[in-house]
Amino acid sequence: MNAIEAYIRSRNFGLAFKRGRRHFNGRESQFKYNQREVFYRIGSSDAGDALEILFSGRHCIYSLPPSFQPKVIWDIGANIGFATLYFKKQYPQSNIYAFEPQKDNFRLLERNTAGLPTVTLCEYALGKENDKVKLAAKSERSTNSFSTVLHGDEHLTADVVTVRSVGDVLQEHDDTGVDLIKIDTEGAEYDILSAFPEVILKNATIIVGELHGIKDEETLALLRQHFDITISDYSKSTCPYRNFLATNQQARVEY
C-alpha cells in the first residue's frame, strides 16, 4: 500500500505522510486522480503535496470561489503537476501555463499532464530578465523547485536552469492578461511577481501561493497596492510557511 492509498483508506494525513517518509527509496508510485494515473516519488515531499492539493476537498489551499472562472492560469513553480491537475479539473476550459525549471520535476510534470488540452508546459524559471541561475532542492526529500543558491546553501547540488523574462513570455504567448496566478517558488515570490508588467499584475483577479520567509514583506507590500490579502499559517512537515490569498480590490468575486 503506498502513501496515497494509506491516506484514502485511513483518512489520516499524518499516517500517510509518515508512511511515505519511512519507505523513502527513490522509487516512484502512482495513484488515481480524476480518472488519470498520477505519478509521485515514494517518501519525498510529493506525498504530502498530493494530499494537501488533490485530496483535501474544500480545505485545499487552492480552493477558490465557485463564481470565479479564470480563462488564463499561470502555475509558477508547478513541481510535478498537482496544482495544474487540480486547476484543470476545476476549470476545464482554462488555458494553463505550468512553469517548472527543475529537470526531474519537469519529467514527472510531463507524465502527469500528458494529453491534457490547453496545458502548456514551460521548462524554465521566471524573472525580470533572461538569465541562467543555479537551482537546488533543499534536501533529499524536498522536491520543491525554484530554491536557488542565490537564496540558500551553495553547498547543495545544483542544476543550471534557464530564467526567462516575464514580459517576453507574455508576448510570446500573446497574453494580454492572467486571471489566476499560483506561485510557490521557495522564496523567489517577490522577484517573480515584481517582474510582471504592472498592468498585468494589477489586473489579475486572484493570486494565491506561499510565503517562505524571503522578502515576504516586500511581496505583501507589492500586492497590497491592488489586492485584499488573507494570510494563514500552516506547517508542512518540519518547514513552516504561510499561505496567502490575494483578491483584486476591483474584482467581483463572491466567497
* pLDDT tens per residue, range 98-138: 999 999 999 999 999 999 999 999 999 999 999 998 876 55
Nearest alpha-carbon partner for 243 in 255, 228, 229? 229
Pairing verdict, β 119-122 and 95-99: parallel
With contact defined as beta carbons under 8 Å apart, do 199 and 138 qualify? no
Distance between CA 86 and CA 108 in Å, rounded? 16
Q: Give how far the C-alpha of residue 50 lies from the chain's centroid of Cα atoms, to the nearest Å.
A: 12
pLDDT of residue 13: 46
Banded pLDDT at 6 (limits 50, 70, 90):
low
pLDDT of residue 253: 75
Domains recognised in the chain with CATH numbers: 1-60 (no CATH), 64-248 (3.40.50.150)
Task: List, as own/partner pairs, every contact residues 120-123 make where C-beta atoms lie below 8 angstroms and the sequence separation is at least 24, other chains included.
Answer: 120/95, 120/96, 120/173, 121/78, 122/97, 122/98, 122/164, 122/169, 123/162
Banded pLDDT at 176 (limits 50, 70, 90):
confident
pLDDT of residue 9: 45
The radius of gyration computed from the CA coordinates of the chain, to the nearest angstrom, equals 17
pLDDT of residue 254: 72
| Residue-averaged pLDDT of the chain | 84
pLDDT of residue 244: 95
Mean pLDDT of the 10-20 span: 46
Residue 17 reports pLDDT greater than 90? no
pLDDT of residue 78: 97
Q: Give how far the C-alpha of residue 167 lies from the chain's centroid of Cα atoms, to the nearest Å.
A: 20
| Share of residues in the chain with pLDDT > 90 (%) | 63
Higher pLDDT, 236 or 223: 223
Distance between CA 75 and CA 185 in Å, rounded? 10
* pLDDT tens per residue, range 42-86: 888 899 999 999 998 888 989 999 889 999 999 999 999 999 999
Higher pLDDT, 38 or 67: 38
Distance between CA 98 and CA 78 in Å, rounded? 5
Alpha helices in the chain (DSSP H): 3-10, 13-22, 46-54, 82-90, 103-113, 166-172, 189-193, 198-201, 216-224
Q: Could you tell me which residues are beta bridge partners of residue 206?
A: 180, 247
